Chains A and B, each alone.
Chain A
Amino acid sequence: MAWLVEDRLKPYQSKRVEPYLTPEIKKRVAEKYFPRYPTKQAALLPLFHIIMHEYGYITEQAIDEAAEFLEITRAQVQDAVTFYEEFRLTPSGKYVVNVCRSIACELCGHADIVEKIRQVFGIDPGETTEDHQITLFEVECLGACEQAPCALVNEDLHGCLKPDTFVRHLQQLPAEAAHKGNGQGH
């Protein structure tokens, strides 16, 4: 799991005027999720799923705003958010390719898939192509071992992968600018 220590020497990311938790997002969470739980804090995971979906990553400012909104401390939000793999603190490409590396996929050739992506796109796991199109991650079991080797491309599962066809598929994904967000670098 992520063990994140805050770098106190790093300057605080400059505030942008426009909030990350827009009134629409707040309204959605307040109407749909708050009534589901006895505490506001319990809406933290749903809230950050929305933030990830909207912006592709989580900024310090979003954490601050969430703390205020959920009525808990900034530390509590950071503590929770940094624990979960799907909540990323750095921007990624338009397509996040999560290749499974657990046992059934290793048995069925996950290494060939990763190697092919490395060759064709020139990225290692954890890296993003220069055109911000593709970010590669290796992840643990995706719960689709009968389709090993498999990968999750954004929200879609791709199973029984063959290196060549999978890479061709990735190359044909529609190109577009990377996620919106405030454009600050990694």
Chain B
Amino acid sequence: MAFAGPVLLKRIPDDPAKRRLIRYSDYCATGGYEALKKSWTTPPEDIIKLVVESGLRGRGGAGFPCGTKWTFLPKDLHPRYLAVNFDESEPGTFKDRYLTDYDPHILLEGIAIAAYANRITTSYIFIRGEYHHEAKILEEALEEAYANGIFGKKLPGTDIVHNCYVHRGAGAYICGEETGLLEALEGKRGWPRIKPPFPAVAGAFAKPTIINNVETLACLPDIVLKGAAWFKGMGTPSSAGPKLYGISGHIHKPGVYEDELGIKMSTLIEKYAGGVKGKYRAAIPGGVSMGILGTDQWDAELDFDIGRKYNVLGLGTAGVIVMNDTTDLVLMLRNIVRFFAYESCGQCTPCREGTAWMHKMLNRIVAGFGRPRDFDMLMEVGLSMGSMPGTTICGLADGANWAVKTFLQKFPDDFKSRLKPEQVRGVTLTPAGATV
């Protein structure tokens, strides 16, 4: 592991007072669009091979190998689309926003490289509706890029004219799910699609489509310039490269920091985020869908193996939320479950009804009317939902599943101590002292 300094944030100063929007000319003056020019003189297949070799995995949550995803595009089927996932609505996640606030061209260069490598006709940057400021920044940056021949021109060696547009969402977390995003792009309600067919075969407008996260694409320019071995030199064997970590909650210096994959959470908190306000109790590793890390998991390595090693769903977006020992974890779980209940798109019964039911139970527990059997019932309802148990279409329900499961497993007493034997007309149904 060797991290020599920021890769994605290299143009953004640490000192907030010195940060400013990097325009096209500043970007080019610091080596920007060199990678694109280099790729234009390289056969597209070689770029795809390079990305496969680099071990770049998706930064949007699922960690799917980026180059491999690209190879799923059916040969010679056109037009093809690229959908850039800038929905970023997972609570605790703000890395893509931060990057774009200052350095929009690193994303645009990544898009241009991906478009060239994959023979893309149109790229749509799907940005969440709440990001008004960032949408404006991107529109301006796109204007500069068009004026300088980055977009709107034939991809070298083809007759395909590649265009890139911003498409604004309108307030729905589920449009971050890749097929929900495609529906919103097509002007429909953002209901995730049943797969297969996978988007690489039939995605936007039923044409082959690649969906990549903002940060994934922003990694491309440096991979093209410096090579796969350089990229693999950072991180761990299964988790290569640099990573943007967002950190918020009970810490002194919340913000976005860059280091290689696989650093310990304790390092992120102490070296970058100024330490915990108070005493550490628990943390969410990468957005609320991932579940919770316990008090003894303070040193968890933040990489794509975190799920297997620390009983969470995965690294997710690496948006870490830290909680100190004054935090009421029942309230926190209620907050998370309310989020899922509110954002469930409602297509699948286990998700729509289950999240609402769990929210009701947690409201009951918070209000002091929790019943002993609520603990097991919460667990049962939680475990039954998700695409992994096979009961739902998309991964939103898996997020609710893992949040509930890991909170109950790692902090059972926080919940059990709030449950009281049930009484009907003064008669106790569960004997006092019985295990709940």
Question: For the complex, is B346 an interface residue (Cβ under 8 Å from A)?
Answer: yes
Cα separation A144 to B134 with both chains bound (whole Å): 12
- Cα–Cα distance between A98 and B91 once the two chains are bound (Å): 15
Cα of A177 to Cα of B296 in the assembled complex, Å: 56
On chain B, the residues within 8 Å of A152 by CB distance are 130
Whether A87 is near chain B, meaning CB under 8 Å from some CB there, is: yes
- By a CB distance below 8 angstroms, the chain A residues around B170 are 45, 48-49, 84-87
Knowing A103-B284, A145-B248, the reply to whether A46 touches B168 (Cβ < 8 A) is yes
Contact B94 A76 (CB under 8 A): no
Show the binding face of A for B, using Cβ within 8 Å: 1, 3, 36-39, 41-46, 48-49, 70, 72, 76, 79-80, 82-87, 98, 101-104, 106-108, 139-148, 152, 155-157
The reply to whether B173 and A146 contact each other, CB–CB distance below 8 Å, is no
B345 and A1 contacting across the interface, CB-CB below 8 Å: yes
Q: Is the CB of A140 within 8 A of B339?
A: yes
Q: From residue B244, how far is it (CB to closest CB) to chain A in Å?
A: 12
Instruction: Report Cα–Cα, A139/B343, bound state, in Å.
Output: 11
How far is it, in angstroms, between the C-alpha of A44 and the C-alpha of B327 when the chains are bound?
43
Q: Judge whether B167 and A104 touch: CB under 8 Å.
A: no
Asked if residues B89 and A43 are in contact (CB atoms below 8 Å), the reply is no
Assess whether B163 is interfacial by the CB under 8 Å rule. yes
A-B residue pairs, 5 tightest by C-beta: A44-B187, A85-B171, A83-B189, A84-B170, A145-B248
Q: Is the CB of B189 within 8 A of A145?
A: no
Residues of A contacting B187 in the complex (Cβ-Cβ under 8 angstroms): 39, 41-45, 70, 72, 80
Judging by beta carbons under 8 Å apart, are A83 and B249 in contact?
no
Residue of B nearest to A146 (CB): B254
Would you give the shortest CB distance from B324 to chain A, in whole angstroms?
9
B346 partner residues in chain A, CB cutoff 8 A: 1, 3
Give me 14 A-to-B residue pairs in the complex whose CB atoms sit less than 8 angstroms apart, sorted by A's number.
A1-B172, A41-B187, A42-B187, A45-B170, A82-B189, A86-B129, A98-B130, A141-B89, A141-B90, A143-B93, A143-B130, A144-B94, A144-B97, A156-B133
Choose from A38, A80, A103 the contact partner of B288 (Cβ within 8 Å).
A103
Contact residue among B91, B122, B163 (Cβ-Cβ distance under 8 Å from A103): B91
B174 contacts the other chain (Cβ, under 8 Å)?
yes
Measured between beta carbons, the chain A residues less than 8 angstroms from B90 are 141
Which of these, B94, B327, B345, contacts A145 with CB under 8 Å?
B94
B121: min CB distance to chain A, Å: 10
Q: Which of B128, B167, B172, B345 is A143 in contact with, Cβ under 8 Å?
A: B128
Question: When the two chains form their complex, are residues B172 and A107 in contact, meaning their CB atoms are under 8 A apart?
Answer: no
Decide yes or no: A45 and B163 within 8 Å by CB, A107-B250, A141-B91 being known contacts.
Answer: no
Given A143-B88, A157-B133, answer yes or no on A80-B343 (Cβ-Cβ < 8 Å): no
Residue among B98, B133, B186, B331 making CB contact with A39, cutoff 8 Å: B186
B184 near A45 with CB under 8 A, answer yes
For the complex formed, measure the closest distance between the CB of B285 and the CB atoms of chain A, giving whole angstroms: 13
Whole-angstrom distance between the alpha carbons of A143 and B132 in the complex? 12
Q: Residues of A contacting B425 with CB < 8 Å?
A: none
Tell me whether B188 and A41 are in contact (CB under 8 A): yes
A80 to B342, CA, bound (A): 17
B132 touches A146 (CB 8 A): no
Given the contacts A143-B128, A143-B131, A145-B248, A46 and B171 also touching, CB distance less than 8 Å: no
CA distance A80 to B184 in the complex (A): 8
Q: Using Cβ atoms and an 8 Å threshold, which residues of chain A touch B302?
A: none
Residue of A nearest to B124 (CB): A36
B 106-162 contacts with A by CB, 8 A = 122, 128-133
Q: Complex: how many Å from CA A3 to CA B344?
A: 11
The closest CB in chain B to the CB of A83 belongs to B189
Alpha-carbon distance between A3 and B345 when the two chains are bound, in angstroms:
9
Residue of B with least CB distance to A157: B133
Are A79 and B188 neighbours in the complex by a CB distance under 8 Å?
Answer: yes
Say how far B327's CB is from chain A's closest CB, in angstroms.
7
Minimum CB–CB distance for B246 against chain A, Å: 7
Interface centre among B133, B249, B321 (most CB of A within 10 A): B249
Between A37, A39, A70, A107, the greatest number of chain B beta carbons within 10 A of the residue's beta carbon is seen for A107
Task: Check B130–A142 contact: CB distance below 8 A.
Answer: yes
Q: Is B323 an interface residue (CB 8 A)?
A: yes
Q: Across the interface, which residues of B come within 8 angstroms of A76, CB to CB?
A: 188
Q: Which residue of A lies closest to B136 (CB)?
A: A155
Residues in A neighbouring B327, C-beta threshold 8 A: 107
Residues of B within 8 A of A141 (CB): 89-93, 339
Q: In the complex, which residues of chain A have a beta carbon less than 8 angstroms from the beta carbon of B362?
A: none
Name which residue of chain A comes closest to B185, CB basis: A42
| Residues of A with C-beta under 8 A to B310 | none
Q: Are A83 and B339 in contact (CB under 8 A)?
A: no
With A36-B122, A41-B188, A45-B170 as contacts: A143 and B89 at CB distance below 8 Å: yes
Give bound CA distance, A156 to B98, whole Å: 15
Q: When chains A and B are docked, how far (Å) is the Cα of A173 from the Cα of B313?
A: 44
B354 within 8 A of A: no
B336 at the binding interface (Cβ < 8 Å): yes
**A54→B167 CA distance, assembly (Å):** 19
- Contacting pair A103 B321 (CB below 8 A): yes
Answer yes or no: B255 CB below 8 A from chain A CBs: yes
Say yes or no: B91 contacts A102, CB within 8 Å: yes
Question: Is B249 in contact with A104, judged by CB distance below 8 angstroms?
Answer: yes
What residues on A are CB-neighbors of B254 within 8 Å? 145-148
Is B184 within 8 A of A107, CB to CB? no
Docked Cα-Cα span, A132 to B170, in Å, equals 23
Residue of B with least CB distance to A48: B170
- Taking a contact as CB atoms under 8 Å apart, the answer to whether A140 and B173 are in contact is yes
Q: Tell me the complex Cα distance, A98–B128, Å.
A: 15
Inter-chain contacts of A3 with B (CB < 8 A): 346
